[in-house]
Amino acid sequence: MDQFHTPADKDRLHSRMRKYVNRHFHIIFKRMLYVLLFVSIQIAVIVFFFVYLTKLTPYFLLFCMLITASASIHIINKNNNPAYKIAWLIPLAVFPIFGGLLYLMFGSRRVNRHQREITAVMREHYQSTAAQIPPADIDADLPRDAFLMANYITNASGCLPYANTQTEYFPSGEAFFPALCDALRHAKRYIFLEFFIIAEGAFWDTVLSILEERASQGVEVRVLYDDFGSMLTLPLNYDKLLRQKGIRAHVFNPFNTVLHPRPNNRDHRKIAVIDGTCAFVGGINIGDEYINTKKRLGYWKDTAIKLCGDAAWGVALQFLSVWDSDTKEKADLGAYLPAEDPHMPYVENGIIQPFTDIPMDNEQVGESVYFQMITRAQKYIYITTPYLIIDHELLVALQTAAKSGVDVRIITPHIPDKKSVFFLTHSYYTPLLEAGVRISEFTPGFVHAKMMISDDRFAVVGSINLDYRSLYLHLENAVWMYNTDTVLPIRDDFLATWEQSETVTPKSISKLTPLKRLWLSILRTLAPLM
């Protein structure tokens, strides 16, 4: 039976579809035209000067080659991951004239003054204000492995561990969405939202209407989103529109030009904080596919964690630190301390430690936490990740754990969002399978969840993918948990997802042509740049 009862119903549907397509085409076309215009002008200027100087004197070519040679020496002597070094040394060798300039534009991870300011401000905020909410005593009767992990996170990131916090796990965007909206509606003092992607649609429209209503009632509302992540989902200068609605909005690291000093450092975090007493952290962006009202890649599997209590204050500081350092504001952090609520006894077992990982301090906190989880696991280590593009250290850690008898399982997507990255993920299957690691692909759709669980004791939920960009380049955040009430639900959700996934075997990945194997080898070499 036709689902459209009258021609008028069909006309209304077609009209809505045309408006939807036209709106998104306008967003994409206007933004891309703006970026391409700036890129084209700069490329034209660079080409002009290069051609002009090349004709002028051969010494210019020598100068370019000296830049490339200097860049090569700089890369070799930097305290970087060896795979990242190799990935850049290859294009420098292949393009001795242009290679050095390319590295200066896109490859150098030199910490400039602005980046040092961000790091210094974040550290200062944590050290001066975080302890106003008493952190957990990680020395008191805490097992050695839990103490060492919590102590590392504290020393490496400045983020403190907390007790007196209730945790709630959301195994899907559909479960997360109403909980977030309910918390936003009950905000009394402030709302902080920070997301890599905000996309126009039912999800954002609902959230935005709540934000407007709370702002009109005197609640301070701040929205921070990444410019590159939201480039194709929000109109240009959308932050100005939000400010007209009474919302304090800021765009992180505007992506307007190819010569941007930090083109790779994106804000990939997903944070929502309400009054400093409630916070959400996870992998869920604000977009309709994340709550499965829009089918993009089949069923979208994602997760989040809710913190009610002291640990939410740690997440609030993470937001304020980046906001203040990027906007050059200096807020009175004490003014945002959560008010005591005698009606909400946040009592739960275990330790909760929300932490952040930023590229400006050259400390790979996310990777180190994952590494410790893997190497300290005694019974099992379960992982979900949308991308599996790891360095040699993590690869060996997973192989060693599996060979030692630890049950190592990894869930990746069966339906890819980026085919080259999906293909590259497959290149890590063989060495892992040969070591005894079990891998399954989620067949109903796309896994975007970033989680790690071990031994019914530890869990990490957050925004950190197992790829080079998350581990080395992006601003990320997550929650490390020890013996909380949500560790077992996270484990059970992993096992339920495992049952919906297709086991990967050596036979299933052996059907590659020689050409594909060659292409895979090239991608594997350049993996740190992807």
Rounded to an integer, what distance in angstroms lies between the CA atom of residue 237 and that of residue 224?
Answer: 13
**Under a CB-based contact definition with an 8 Å cutoff, are residues 281 and 311 in contact?**
no
Residue 150, beta-bridge partner list = none
Contacts 24+ apart (CB under 8 A), 25-28: 26/235, 27/200, 27/232, 27/233, 27/234, 27/235, 28/232
Catalytic residue list contains 450 = yes
End position of a domain, from candidates 107, 133, 154: 107
Residues 431 and 344 in one domain: no
How many domains, the chain?
3
Instruction: CATH number of the domain at 248, please.
Output: 3.30.870.10
Residues 55 and 78 in one domain: yes
Strand arrangement of the beta sheet that strand 407-413 belongs to: 351-357, 476-482, 458-462, 451-454, 380-384, 407-413, 438-442, 501-503
> Which region, left, alpha or beta, applies to residue 364 given φ > 0 means left and ψ of -120 to 50 means alpha?
beta
Domain extent, residue 138, equals 113-352
Catalytic residue list contains 456 = no
**β strands within 119-242, DSSP E:** 165-170, 190-195, 220-226
Residues 249 and 177 in one domain: yes
**Strand, helix or coil for residue 120:** helix
Gyration radius from the chain CA atoms: 24
Give a yes or no: residue 359 inside a domain.
no
Residues 371 and 344 in one domain: no
Q: H or E segment at 301?
A: strand 299-301
3-state helix, strand, coil in the chain (%, to 5): 50, 20, 30
- Could you tell me the pLDDT band of residue 509, with boundaries at 50, 70 and 90? confident
Residues 97 and 126 in one domain: no
Residue 481, beta-bridge partner list = 352, 459
Catalytic residue among 448, 467, 474, 493: 448
Catalytic residue list contains 448 = yes
Catalytic residue among 125, 226, 239, 270: 270
* pLDDT tens-digit map of 84-98: 666 677 777 767 766
Rounded to an integer, what distance in angstroms lies between the CA atom of residue 97 and that of residue 405?
Answer: 50
* pLDDT tens-digit map of 314-369: 999 999 988 988 887 877 788 899 887 665 667 677 899 999 998 877 789 999 99
Catalytic residue among 145, 326, 391, 455: 455
Catalytic residue among 268, 301, 306, 474: 268
* pLDDT tens-digit map of 20-30: 444 555 555 55
Rounded to an integer, what distance in angstroms lies between the CA atom of residue 448 and that of residue 470?
Answer: 13
Q: What's at 469, amino acid-wise?
A: R
End position of a domain, from candidates 107, 140, 159: 107
Residues 19 and 154 in one domain: no
Give a yes or no: residue 360 inside a domain.
no
Residues 171 and 310 in one domain: yes
End position of a domain, from candidates 295, 329, 352: 352
* pLDDT tens-digit map of 202-250: 999 999 999 999 999 999 999 999 998 998 889 888 999 999 999 999 9
Q: What's at 330, amino acid-wise?
A: K
**pTM score:** 0.84
Distances (CA, A) of 162 to 12, 51, 347, 378: 53, 60, 11, 25
Catalytic residue list contains 361 = no
